[in-house]
Amino acid sequence: MPAYAPLQSGGGAAMTQQPLKKRRLRVSDVNVVNHRTLRKALGGTIVGNTMEWYDVGVFGYLITTMGPVFLPEADKAVQNLFLLGTFGATFIARPLGGVFFGWLGDKIGRQKVLAMTLMLMAAATFVVGLLPGYSVLGIWAAVLLVITKLVQGFSTGGEYAGATTFVSEHSPDHRRGFFASFLDMGSYLGFAIGAGLVSGLQLTLGQAEMEAWGWRIPFLIAGPLGIIAIYFRMKIEESPAFQATLEAEAEVARHPETGEVLGPMGPVGIFKAYWQRIVLAMILVAAANTVGYALTSYMPTYLTTNKGYDEINGTLLTIPVLVAMSLCIPLTGHLSDRIGRRPVLWIGAISTVVLSLPAFLLIDIGTVPATLTGLALVAFPVTFYVANLASALPALFPTAHRYGAMGIAYNFAVAIFGGTTPFIVASLIQVTGNDMMPAYYLMATSAIAAVTIYFLPESARRHLPGSMPSVDSDKAARELVATQDDNPMLDMDTLPFGASYEAAKAAHAGPEK
């Protein structure tokens, strides 16, 4: 795979790389992570991911309740397919949001764009709770629901790509897997919170009241929750890696005679430059999210529609599995820092292939213990997948174009394979009459991923391409510089030793933080 530098020669989106200026790594080059800033960055990004998946959980668990609200004259199967299709439509807008917000995030900064995406997400979720039903607007009520979910999907397109980029750029290299994994822990906890709230309302109000007005409450709660989340996100600081890129870009602008171009490219330029790694990332995201969304967004409907559970039990059974899985995610993130991203991702892919069929056979038995065991078997590979993609994927792309490339790779994959999983597997069951079709679908996507992981560059304990190394202490910085000649985790060819970097360092020289 090519060595990346954030400094490019030529004009516009030209990607011919400028020869790197070779020199020794200095202690002043190494980024020493401020742990207080890291904690703020982690907390500020987790709240957004939690908010996103709170909505996913609420909507997924209310599908059988909202069907009669928006399509009362259709039969149950059509209602479910419409709501699952509406959920899938959210992901049609995600690539557009990913492309737009990714480009904007590379241009004006990660923190500003992440604040924008959270505001839009919270507002769209809140508006769903205000929508009139079929009895007021007829079919236009269903149309408004689809439009609102499309707006939400557009904003969500910039969320995960930006959050993983942001946290990866804030984290020390040797613990990036651990810190990035907290994003997905927050995601699935957000899902469990949404599911728990829906379950509590169903138990308290009953199905009739839920269909009449109770379904609105979880969406309306997103308003005040969103305000709190936005407050925390506005408090975080820009990532040091991106800030260094901005400074170097400003220095190039002051010295155009260098002929260097440093800055965001359009989506076409990004895809031309990094298409191989974008395709690689898309395959891995597709496999992971196929399993993830099968567990989270489809299982409640599957248990209710195909396995005879009522709406309340169909929801409650998945919650303990989600909570246990969420708490285990940082453990697999830490494991990837120890043994590598590729081995841990292989565990996720191979266990999906091996465990999917037994999982659905256990669920097919119909007893609560068997169903819980089956759900746990589906959750097991998700734990190994999601915790490590959050740190492995940002390491595929250089700092100057990381957000944009992640926005393309992640959101196109999720739109095609992840968010559509509930609709696809429900349709496959409807067409074939075979309740094992979800297992076969999960096995197929992960079998392809298992082969793809072989081509994934190992990034554990290594610095991000286009960025200087990040460590957690001054002592670690000195040790890194002292061992630079024989350190296998240090790739001098990907360090930004271009002329503009040297000029920016000189222009901004001062006491180290």
Asked if the structure places residue 10 within a domain, the reply is: no
- The DSSP secondary structure of 164-217, one letter per residue, reads HHHHHHHS-GGGHHHHHHHHHHHHHHHHHHHHHHHHHHHHHHHHHHIIIIITHH
pLDDT-wise least confident of 35-39, 283-287, 346-350, 478-482: 35-39
Q: What share of the chain is helix, strand, coil (3-state, %, to 5)?
A: 75, 0, 20
Return the pLDDT at 470. Answer: 92
Q: Is the pLDDT of residue 10 over 60?
A: no
pLDDT-wise least confident of 76-90, 134-148, 299-313, 405-419: 299-313
Return the pLDDT at 352. Answer: 97
Return the pLDDT at 29. Answer: 86
For residue 173, what are its two tokens?
A: 């290299």
Q: What is the pTM of this model?
A: 0.83
Rounded CA separation 1/487 (Å): 20
Kindly report the number of other CB atoms within 10 A of residue 475's CB atom. Answer: 10
N-terminal to C-terminal alpha carbon distance within the chain: 34
CATH code where residue 152 lies: 1.20.1250.20
- Residue 465 — very low, low, confident or very high, per pLDDT cuts 50/70/90? confident
Rounded CA separation 301/310 (Å): 10
Asked if the structure places residue 210 within a domain, the reply is: yes
Measured between alpha carbons, how far is residue 360 from residues 68, 299, 347, 421, 442 in Å?
Answer: 28, 11, 19, 16, 11
Asked if the structure places residue 378 within a domain, the reply is: yes
Burial of residue 196 (number of CB atoms within 10 Å: 0-12, 13-18, 19+): middle
- Tokens 């890696």, located at residue: 241
- Residue 265 — very low, low, confident or very high, per pLDDT cuts 50/70/90? confident
Would residue 10 be called left, alpha or beta, if left means φ above 0 and alpha means ψ between -120 and 50 degrees? left
Asked if the structure places residue 311 within a domain, the reply is: yes
Do the beta carbons of residue 33 and residue 172 sit within 8 Å?
yes
Q: Which residue has the higher pLDDT, 139 or 253?
A: 139
Return the pLDDT at 6. Answer: 37
- Residue 246 — very low, low, confident or very high, per pLDDT cuts 50/70/90? low
Q: Which domain holds residue 423?
A: 34-256+264-460
Q: Which residue has the higher pLDDT, 21 or 167?
A: 167
Q: Is the pLDDT of residue 419 over 90?
A: no
Q: What angle do CA 451, 456, 457 make, to 5 degrees?
A: 150
Rounded CA separation 355/368 (Å): 19
263-273 CB burial, b ≥16 within 10 A, e <16:
bbbebebbbeb
Give the chain's domain count. 1
Asked if the structure places residue 468 within a domain, the reply is: no
Backbone angles phi, psi at 130, to 5 degrees: -95, -10
Average pLDDT over residues 357-366: 91
User: Model confidence over 58-99: pLDDT tens digits?
Assistant: 887 788 789 889 988 888 888 888 887 887 778 788 899 999
The length of the chain is 513
- Residue 207 — very low, low, confident or very high, per pLDDT cuts 50/70/90? confident
Q: Is the pLDDT of residue 149 over 80?
A: yes
- Residue 362 — very low, low, confident or very high, per pLDDT cuts 50/70/90? very high
For residue 461, what are its two tokens?
A: 């304990």
Asked if the structure places residue 372 within a domain, the reply is: yes
Average pLDDT over residues 349-373: 93
Q: Is the pLDDT of residue 365 over 50?
A: yes
Burial of residue 511 (number of CB atoms within 10 Å: 0-12, 13-18, 19+): exposed
Asked if the structure places residue 508 within a domain, the reply is: no
Give bridge partners of residue 260 from the DSSP assignment: 9
Return the pLDDT at 257. Answer: 43
Average predicted confidence (pLDDT) for the chain = 84
Return the pLDDT at 109. Answer: 82
Asked if the structure places residue 334 within a domain, the reply is: yes
pLDDT-wise least confident of 296-305, 347-356, 443-452: 296-305
Q: How do 470-471 and 31-32 pair as beta strands?
A: parallel
